[in-house]
Copies of this chain bind each other. A is one copy, B any other.
Amino acid sequence: MKNYLENINKAFESKARLGIMSVLMVQERVDFSTLKETLQLTDGNLASHLRALEEAQYLQVEKQFIGRKPNTTYAATNLGKQAFKDHLNALEQLILNNRPNL
């Protein structure tokens, strides 16, 4: 029981973070409004999840100006991609371990 739960990564527990990482596994670099629209999150909620993932060094953030408008983009780091893969593998183990009972 404990074994495969150990590899479940608290940084990816929430639905929002699963969503953010899923987007960034497919698209190399995405801006705030695209993430917001794709995941249907509020500004504050999205910002706080992005900050947590950045602090874990799973995201790399770039702040630029497009004309006079600030534009912040996000990319998954290699560390973040690997950690997310490990997390998905742990979830897969959890699912497989539950399958006989489903």
Contact = CB atoms under 8 A, between A and B. Distances in A.
A39 B1 contact: yes
Interface residues of A, number: 28
A13 B62 CA distance: 29
A7 B8 CA distance: 19
Copies of this chain per assembly: 2
Interface string A26-61: 100000000000111000000000000000000000
Given A10-B14, A13-B13, 17 more contacts: A1-B19, A1-B22, A1-B39, A5-B18, A10-B15, A13-B15, A18-B94, A22-B97, A25-B98, A25-B101, A84-B98, A85-B102, A88-B95, A91-B91, A92-B92, A92-B95, A95-B95
Interface of A: 1-2, 5, 8, 10, 13-15, 18-19, 22-23, 25-26, 38-40, 84-85, 88, 91-92, 94-95, 97-98, 101-102
